[in-house]
Amino acid sequence: MITAPLTPQTYHLISKSSLEAMKYGAVFVNIARGALIDESAMCDVLTRRPDLHAILDVFEQEPLPRDSQLWNLPNALISPHNSFVSNGNAARMFNVIYSNLKSYISQQA
């Protein structure tokens, strides 16, 4: 699983050689930023190594283009990147904003 930030140093951090070195039956999960992985290389490796699996909810180009090879790879699981959606999300966001606003106003007085 990769959860690194995308910086110039982490761009394509997961390369073709990284993916090829994964052990038999490994599952790679990216929930961070799409460009951390060389997507073209990943497609190539997943095509040649059906034992490997990728679970992805972020991509180099978003939304994932309809013609992306990833859609057709049986060992690639594609899901939407919507980690912010959950029950009570609106109430939690309101409470954070309200609390921050109260704090800001009290510091201005």
| Sign, CA torsion 92/94/96/99 | negative
Catalytic residue at 81?
Answer: yes
The dihedrals phi and psi of 27, each to the nearest 5 degrees, come to -120, 125
DSSP character for 88? Answer: T
- Degrees to nearest 5, angle at CA 43 with 38 and 48: 125
Which amino acid is it at 3? T
Residue 49 a catalytic site member:
no
Indicate which residue of 20, 48, 62, 92 is catalytic: 62
Among residues 12, 39, 66, 81, the one annotated as catalytic is 81
Residue 37 burial (C-beta neighbours within 10 Å; 0-12, 13-18, 19+): buried
**Which is the catalytic residue, given 33, 39, 53, 60?**
33
33 is known as an active-site residue: yes
Active site residues: 33, 62, 81
